[in-house]
Structure 1
Amino acid sequence: MSISRMTVPGGLLFDLPAEDAQPAEQARTVWAAAPPPPAAEHPRPDGSTTGNTAEPDAPLPAEASPPPAQPGEILVQFSPDLSPALVEQALASVSGTPVEIIHGAATGPDGLLLRVTLPEGAEEAEAIAVLSTQPGVDFAEENFTVSVDAVSNDASYTNGSLWGMYGDATTSKNAFGSQAGEAWATGETGSAKVVIGVLDTGINYTHADLYLNVWINQGEIPISFRSSLADVDSDGQITFRDLNQAANKSFVTDINRNGRIDAGDLLKDQRWANRDDQDRNGYRDDLFGWDFVNNDNDPFDDNGHGTHVSGTIGAVGGNGVGVAGMAWEVQILALKFIGANGSGSISNAVKALDYYTNAGKAAVGQDFVATNNSWGGAGHSSAMQAAIDRTAEAGNLFIAAAGNNSRDTDRSANYPSSFSTLDSVGHEAVISVAALTSTGSLASFSNYGSATVDLAAPGASILSTTANGGYGTMSGTSMATPHVTGAIALYAAANPEDSAAEIRAALLDSTIATASLAGRTVTGGRLDAEAMLRAGAKPEASAPPAMASLHGTDGRDTVTGTADAEILSGVPASGSHLGRGTVDLLQGLGGDDIFVLGDARGAFYDDGNVRKSGTADYGRILDFQRGDKIQLSDDYDTYIIRSVRIEGVSGMGIYGDADGDGVYSGRDELIGHVKGFISLTSADLIFV
């Protein structure tokens, strides 16, 4: 291993491996999907080939054997603002070598999370025990390895093959499907403003049923193109739907010659992949996401699992081709942290989730809503819990596969689906999904839990997109989870203002009670995408009740309201008398009242004498409260508010700027007087 010197945030100087070094992986796991069959070769966009492994369409045994362990790597979380000397002291206690900063900084509020290798022959458990006693170490843990869990005119929908998308009222019926077909019939098919993160094995971004729904990082679009690219569909961003239109043909080239513009073309186009980290997020040319396995900007799927998951979430619908995803229009952000062999490290999962969280914070005009997490097999990880907390605090949901071990996760936890943010963040962002068969049974391989698994969704023999550009079936809670994530994408498109808590409530409150799930999930029910949309439908706003209007006369009046909201005016409702020469007293008594000092007829209490302020006529408001409003005429360009004592009563005077100089002078016309020293703002005023 070659070594380079590197200074990390906080001023610490460590020996870190050079970029070409291969990180060690701690492979302690139980497979949450059946082990993949021998790899089949399929072409990549550049003509090379890579292994295509697939989750088989078969149930998993109750317990699967873990892959061989590769000891020697741990994660260490240090306290915020810890001195460099204490960090080095802690690492020296186990002869640990820092190889990567996973999150935070020594001088930052989150503290520094490091990936650390141990000397050959060192026991991880012993090193963790030693580190846990060191000052400034919040926790030390293994860097676990996790694995994959495994009315449309689209051909596979119309021929009856796509049961997971059906409902009891679709042409091809299955009451135990997601009811997506019924949701589409309401006119809701998604939005390209909704961004879903898929933490998995990557995506075949050239697939004919996926390429239009691959996320484009708006911050990495070449600066020289931004003002010239045509937003053809006027959604406020540039997507592949825009880049495949003639208006943008001079900015793109079909390099891979497949007849369309996709991510594979842009990654090979030096105008787009210009080796400049334009959005300054630390990931150069991250146009479509990131490959955390190979640490590059090409998240192509060399396993197949991530592409299958992505198809269920967002395969393009209504195009007469292949399958349809839950959301026909969506942006899928590929966060590849699982490799060709179906396994990946917790440290890379943390980085992938943080990428999604931070991208959402930086996005303009995009709605980051949820990540899909169809993987599992590790033990509890404090580093992963912290990353999930961070994404929950940013307003995102974390949708996770319940696991394929046929066990009760109330008794034996499954991660990441058993994580919770309820205590740490104050609301629950994690949603755990079990797998349902086409006959309404809980799949034999699916985990369950009356307190830890929220609902079930179609997860057996699910047809979706594959990494070789085709279609195939897979089974697992991996396949159930994207049905839920896709339903959330549909809901978010229809209800863009709803919070994560509101989306979660709509999802769980709309499930269909299912006999096989009674006592086995929190809701006892299964996904119903159409009912979820109905749960989120906002009632049409009813017109506010008409407010009673109370008016004075031509003379001096005291107009007194009631406890209700009312409109109070010291002058008659009609006619030319606007209070000149009189002083009227207005008292609301209660409710959110409107005190009228002018209307379409003009400003009230204006004597027309520009030589004096007219303190002989005005409207005095006796009990102005927050929630009340003062109505003024727009006769004056400017009104001036200043404290003044009139007839022994202190308060705030409202003057029309008669001489137009923007500052008070003796010529400005007194219109109203608000008893008491009330700090009036523009929010308290209405102009007509």
Structure 2
Amino acid sequence: MSNLTRFSAALVLALPAAGQLRLETRAQVIVQVPRAVDRTGVEASLERGGWRVLEELPALGLLLVEVPLTQGLASAIARLSATPGVAFAEANGSGEGGEIVPNDTHFGVQWPLDNRGQGGGRAGADIEALRAWSLARGSAAVTVAVLDSGLTPAHPEFAGRVLPGIDFVNEDADPFDDQGHGTFVSGILAANADNAFGLAGVDHACALLPVKVLNQFNGGTVFDLTQGLVFAADAGAHVVNMSLINYPQTTALESALEYARNAGCVLVACAGNGGIGDADRSYPGRSPLTISVGATTDRDLRAVFSGTGNSLDLVAPGERVPATLRALTDGWTAFSGCSAATPIVSGMAAVLLSVDPTLTHDEIKQRLEAGAEDGVGSAADTPGRDNHYGHGRANLFRSLCLLDTGGPSIVAPAVLRLESPGPGGLSADDPAVIAALKSILAVDDLDPAPRLQVVSPGPLPLGKLVALAVTALDACGHATQRTLEIIAEDRG
């Protein structure tokens, strides 16, 4: 049943003295009935009292109950809480997508990925995506659930990568984006790359699982979000993106977050768009179960709307970020808000998981925070963690390098044995010497093309071992040194 249908069924017409038509809706309450309790008996008791069960979420033992018109919300919660078999009762609150309405449609380059100072930005105020992509570009084995307004599945930017999703707003299996917010978010996170079309996502290889929890007006309910979290967890999502703000902190929603975390999901959420202190107000971002993401500008300054507070973990580009249009056209729009910053971090988490699928939520969080660039913003970006920038501005390249704890391996025998055609040995530029040096390999777990430095051994006298200094360096700056030996031996 859709939100629209659910609300329409409860509409009552009231005609005030002024003669203007006003629509009133019945309140809704979320109650939990533990598995050990006779749920059928509880539901029968509720119906006898005039309550109506609209929906249920068995995985968490939750029921969505409609309040009779004769009762206020507070008294209804009190009565339901006192009902035998009910563990708790709380209002079905609402939230909204964390969007600042975009108004600049001419921002033509993806500065969050590669900021060269275009558009008046500051060079380097980005996540170093180009360097990072030389190490990893994601994997189809990693699934990212986007809990939002849905997406346009036929869009070329998502072709071949969208998994069967769900719509908890309209209660069907078609999470079509009728608002645009979800497509913006999904494009920033995971738009196809190298397809001569549109934009490139942070992770352009992951599988996308669209879960519609926001309606066409960019609003959603606690119950729909709890359903979305449980669905994403049960579907095997590795990362869950929540570009959502201003949901109330409820027992049901916290239970759903715990459910997803216990299932192994990495949870990434908005830090809020209300500025100072909002990271400690806006939910689900303020939950310690999530990675809370604030927003920065193309000059590495905190976006004026970006939420601050103790709950903030890190920041990412989030003002005038180029985003995928809902229309199936080769275009983009500038998108602002923590909703734009959050998918950048979710995409980063997915890339990290493509390198090491065993990483947990806490391990991903630690590497994102440790890899963030600190002290690059305003004076409020003080050394170490602060309430304005968290641990710093996200950097995909640096976070990836934290997965590569050692230098490359040098693959070669301890002694390189060469045949000398005569008693004079071999010169340093002899083809046999050059071929032997080229046979030395460097192999790295992360960098597909580590560099190899070999100091020329000079002339090789016949029968004498000569030390050979070899150094292998990867893109992250890790080095391995090894001393080999090389000898020219009599062919006979």
Fold shared, TM-score > 0.5 on shorter chain: yes
Matched, 1:405 2:277: no
8 Å CA contact 1:71, 1:124 repeated in 2 = no
Change (3 A) 1:23 1:160: closer
Give deviations 1:172-219, integer Å, cap 9, x for gaps: 9732212212211x231111111000000111111122223322xxxx
Corresponding position of 1:346: 222
Question: Which segments of 5 or more consecutive residues in structure 1 lack a partner in the other structure?
Answer: 1-17, 27-67, 105-109, 151-158, 216-287, 361-367, 422-429, 544-688
Matched, 1:539 2:398: no
Distance 1:498 1:453 in 2: 21
Shift of 1:341: 1.3
Corresponding position of 2:83: 134
Matched, 1:295 2:171: yes
Distance 1:69 1:520 in 2: 41
8 Å CA contact 1:378, 1:415 repeated in 2 = yes
Higher gyration radius (CA): 1
Equivalent of 1:378 in 232, 247, 260:
247
Distance 1:22 1:160 in 2: 41
Corresponding position of 1:440: 300
Distance 1:69 1:176 in 2: 49
Q: Which amino acid aligns with 1:212?
A: G
Matched, 1:118 2:72: no
Corresponding position of 1:98: 53
Distance 1:96 1:304 in 2: 36
Change (3 A) 1:167 1:463: closer
8 Å CA contact 2:226, 2:253 repeated in 1 = yes
Matched, 1:452 2:308: no
Corresponding position of 2:259: 390
Size of the alignment, in residue pairs? 380
Distance 2:8 2:366 in 1: 38
The within-5 A match list for 1:638-653 is none
Q: Which amino acid aligns with 2:5?
A: Q
Equivalent of 2:368 in 507, 520, 534:
507
Corresponding position of 1:149: 98
Q: Secondary structure at the match of 1:478?
A: helix
Corresponding position of 1:75: 30
Distance 2:283 2:264 in 1: 21
Q: Secondary structure at the match of 2:274?
A: coil
Question: Which segments of 5 or more consecutive residues in structure 2 lack a partner in the other structure?
Answer: 10-22, 100-106, 411-492
Shift of 1:135: 3.1
Distance 1:114 1:145 in 2: 16
Q: Secondary structure at the match of 2:139?
A: strand
Corresponding position of 2:143: 195
Change (3 A) 1:291 1:85: closer
Distance 2:87 2:359 in 1: 35
Q: Which amino acid aligns with 1:119?
A: P
Q: Name the TM-score, length of structure 2 as normaliser.
A: 0.72
The within-5 A match list for 1:76-475 is 76-84=31-39, 87-88=42-43, 91=46, 95-104=50-59, 110=60, 112-150=61-99, 161-166=109-114, 174-184=123-133, 186-215=134-163, 288-360=164-236, 368-409=237-278, 412-421=280-289, 430-449=290-309, 451-469=310-328, 470-475=331-336
Q: Secondary structure at the match of 2:141?
A: strand
Distance 1:21 1:460 in 2: 32
Corresponding position of 1:24: 7
8 Å CA contact 1:167, 1:181 repeated in 2 = no
Change (3 A) 1:540 1:174: closer
Change (3 A) 1:376 1:439: same
Change (3 A) 1:391 1:20: closer
Change (3 A) 1:507 1:25: farther
Q: Name the TM-score, length of structure 1 as normaliser.
A: 0.52
Give deviations 1:269-317, integer Å, cap 9, x for gaps: xxxxxxxxxxxxxxxxxxx111111222211111111001001111111
Give deviations 1:350-378, integer Å, cap 9, x for gaps: 11111111111xxxxxxx32110011222
8 Å CA contact 1:149, 1:403 repeated in 2 = yes
Shift of 1:498: 2.2
Shift of 1:319: 2.2
Shift of 1:141: 1.0
Shift of 1:499: 2.4
Distance 1:169 1:369 in 2: 34
* Percent of residue pairs bearing the same amino acid type: 30
More helix by share: 2
Q: Which amino acid aligns with 1:445?
A: F
Shift of 1:391: 0.7
Distance 1:21 1:378 in 2: 19
Equivalent of 1:481 in 337, 342, 350:
342
The within-5 A match list for 1:555-594 is none
Shift of 1:392: 0.5
Q: Secondary structure at the match of 2:210?
A: strand
